């Protein structure tokens, strides 16, 4: 990077910090080391202080520093587990208003990406941007086939600007962590590193197109959500072409009401979409603010902008489902156990203390009707309590919290009386039922079918060998010692248990395979065959494992 450019940018940042007196946020705390309190004597502090609140000053400063800092503030606003509420509220007000770059530049970028004139690629291309954001801007166009599309073009030189500002942010974060305990508690370096990963991923239009295609496939045939079609032949790393869609702004209540949209159903449908993406598809749109969502007159949602998506591990999903269900049943012991089992708090944590802390924070919430309880607030409170017990909040859960807050705010804007618990509880209970018991076992068997099928041919040989060993075992002779006889009986029971287990595996495979091939035995239906196999296995294990009087 050019040292002069770097120096000018640093100077601009320092001027903005001074103008909005951001040093007061850092050096007025009683927890600041004594040597740093000398900053109070600096000349720029002799002329009074800014009358805005600390959160307002931070927001205004980020807006002046430009789109990269604005987007950082937007993401930082989701870390309500780390920030004071007033600061988080101010950062949430940040608007990504960015002037467009010239349409001629957009045309040049498209032509360079495809090595073709724009007139050969499209039947028409509107050089006037339809919308402009910090990373890219959107133009209307039509294909030679007549299809109406939008063309999303990444801003020229934006990657260089982003990397420059990210480097400065990281230097500042490390400096603050070395000086201030609060900065270490807020994990400033980790927050900047997470932001770096997120924003650099957003520069890749092929990645965004793949995200859109995945969600479109997940909701294929679903009337709740529509995802525009990607035109892969016209998509490159810095250019994305997708079907042009239209709809009513999701936060324009008057327009939705005039179109006859049922707002209560629309709000409930949004919650259902969220829980399907998280718990069923394990792939969720993590940037579902009103600017990225429209509504068709028939009440179907339309989503765009898939630069940020989230996924969860199976353990994360189970953790969330168990916590939500236990929380709304006021079973704080179950909430504490779920945290420990998921590994979010140290194993040496004393559960009674953790349970008591959760109860003290969450019980007052239940003075409100369930319809007024916020899922996002519940998750936030759980994170805040767990942090006191050294819980490290994972990035994927932060994305989930951000999305949940967006969905929840949207749902209550559409229908303030929306009972989120009533909408979500059946989905969560059904999902939990599918994870445990026989349903969970059979589902796991189907998931593991390819691996199990590889070992299936070996089962008959193993059974034959076990049966042969059982048949070859001599009966107890008169002069056999009691210990030898006891060992023989134990070995027989072990072999019987092995045979029974093999029958269980075989029966489970038969059931799993029944979803793919019409297996049967001598014309018997599949299910009785499975039941017979499981019954024989269970009987064999029971008989062979029953302890003798002399054992």
Q: In whole angstroms, give the CA distance from residue 487 to residue 490.
A: 5
Beta bridge partners of 153: 137, 239
Which ranges of the chain have pLDDT less than 50? 30, 437, 515-527, 529-530, 532-534, 537, 540-546, 549-550
Kind of pairing, strands 301-303 and 225-226?
Answer: parallel
The reported pLDDT for the residue numbered 534 is 46
The reported pLDDT for the residue numbered 519 is 43
The total of other beta-carbon atoms located within 10 Å of residue 283's CB is: 17
The radius of gyration of the chain's CA atoms, rounded to the nearest angstrom, is: 31
198: nearest Cα among 169, 218, 227: 169
Task: Give the distance, in angstroms, between the CA of residue 148 and the centroid of all CA atoms in the same chain.
Answer: 32
Locate the domains of the chain by residue range: 3-97+162-201, 98-156+204-245, 258-435, 444-545
- Cα dihedral 248, 250, 256, 262 in deg (nearest 10): 130
Q: Which of 287, 316, 390, 551 is catalytic?
A: 287
Left, alpha or beta for 180 (phi > 0: left; psi -120 to 50: alpha)?
A: beta
Angle at 259 between CA 257 and CA 263, to 5 degrees: 40
Q: What phi and psi, each to the nearest 5 degrees, are found at residue 419?
A: -95, 95
The reported pLDDT for the residue numbered 510 is 54
Are 296 and 219 in contact by the 8 Å Cβ rule? The answer is: no
Beta bridge partners of 151: 139, 241
CATH architecture of 98-156+204-245: 2-Layer Sandwich (3.30)
Q: In whole angstroms, give the CA distance from residue 68 to residue 96.
A: 9
DSSP label at residue 157: T
Q: In whole angstroms, give the CA distance from residue 24 to residue 7.
A: 24
Q: In whole angstroms, give the CA distance from residue 87 to residue 63.
A: 15
pTM: 0.69
> Side-chain half-sphere of 177: how many Cα atoms within 13 Å?
15
The reported pLDDT for the residue numbered 442 is 56
Which segments of 147-252 does DSSP mark as H helices, in order?
A: 158-179, 181-185, 188-202, 205-218
Left, alpha or beta for 158 (phi > 0: left; psi -120 to 50: alpha)?
A: alpha
Q: Is 390 among the residues known to form the active site?
A: no
Which segments of 227-374 does DSSP mark as H helices, in order?
A: 253-258, 263-275, 314-328, 332-342, 351-362
The reported pLDDT for the residue numbered 456 is 58
The reported pLDDT for the residue numbered 173 is 84
């Amino acid at each position: 990077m050019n040292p002069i450019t770097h120096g000018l940018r640093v100077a601009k940042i320092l001027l903005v910090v001074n103008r909005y007196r951001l040093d007061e946020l850092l050096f007025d705390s009683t927890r600041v080391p004594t040597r740093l309190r000398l900053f109070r004597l600096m000349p720029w502090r002799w002329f009074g202080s800014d009358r805005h609140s600390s959160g307002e000053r931070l927001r205004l400063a980020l807006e002046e520093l430009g789109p990269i800092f604005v987007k950082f503030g937007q993401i930082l606003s989701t870390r309500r587990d780390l920030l004071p509420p007033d600061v988080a509220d101010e950062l949430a007000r940040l608007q990504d208003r960015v002037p467009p770059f010239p349409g001629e530049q957009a045309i040049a970028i498209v032509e360079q990406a495809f090595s073709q004139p724009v007139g050969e690629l499209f039947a028409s291309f509107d050089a006037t941007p339809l919308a402009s954001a910090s990373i890219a801007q959107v133009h209307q166009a039509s294909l030679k086939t007549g299809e109406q599309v939008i063309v999303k073009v990444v801003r020229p030189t934006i990657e260089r600007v982003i990397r420059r500002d990210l480097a400065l942010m990281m230097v500042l974060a490390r400096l603050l962590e070395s000086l201030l305990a609060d900065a270490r508690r807020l994990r400033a370096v980790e927050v900047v590193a997470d932001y770096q990963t997120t924003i650099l991923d957003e520069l890749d239009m092929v990645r965004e197109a793949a995200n859109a295609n995945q969600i479109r496939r997940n909701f294929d045939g679903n009337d709740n959500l529509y995802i525009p079609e990607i035109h892969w032949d016209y998509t490159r790393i810095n250019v994305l072409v997708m079907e042009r869609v239209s709809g009513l702004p999701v936060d324009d209540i008057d327009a939705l009401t005039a179109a006859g949209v049922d707002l209560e159903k629309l709000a409930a449908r949004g919650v259902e979409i969220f829980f399907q993406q998280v718990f069923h598809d394990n792939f969720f749109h993590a940037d579902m603010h009103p600017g990225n969502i429209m509504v068709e007159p028939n009440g179907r949602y339309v989503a765009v902008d898939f630069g940020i998506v989230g996924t969860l591990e199976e353990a994360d999903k189970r953790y969330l489902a168990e916590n939500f269900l236990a929380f709304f049943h006021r079973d704080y012991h179950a909430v504490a156990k779920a945290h420990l089992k998921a590994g979010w708090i140290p194993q040496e944590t004393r559960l009674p203390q953790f349970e008591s802390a959760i109860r003290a924070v969450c019980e007052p919430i239940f003075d409100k009707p369930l319809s007024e309880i916020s899922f996002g607030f519940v998750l936030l409170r759980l994170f805040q309590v767990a942090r006191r017990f050294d819980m490290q909040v994972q990035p994927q859960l932060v994305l989930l919290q951000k999305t949940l807050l967006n969905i929840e705010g949207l749902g209550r804007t559409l229908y303030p009386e929306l009972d989120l618990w009533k909408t979500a509880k059946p989905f969560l209970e059904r999902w939990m039922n599918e994870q445990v018991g026989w349903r969970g076992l059979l589902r796991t068997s189907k998931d593991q079918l390819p691996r199990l099928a590889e070992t299936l041919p070996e089962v008959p040989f193993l059974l034959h060998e076990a049966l042969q060993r059982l048949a070859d075992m001599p009966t107890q002779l008169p002069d056999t010692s009691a210990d030898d006889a006891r060992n023989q009986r134990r070995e027989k029971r072990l072999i019987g248990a092995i045979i029974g287990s093999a029958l269980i595996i075989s029966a489970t495979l038969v059931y799993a395979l029944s979803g793919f091939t019409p297996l049967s035995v001598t014309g018997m239906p599949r299910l009785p065959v499975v039941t017979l196999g499981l019954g024989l296995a269970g009987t064999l294990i029971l008989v062979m494992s029953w302890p003798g009087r002399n054992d």
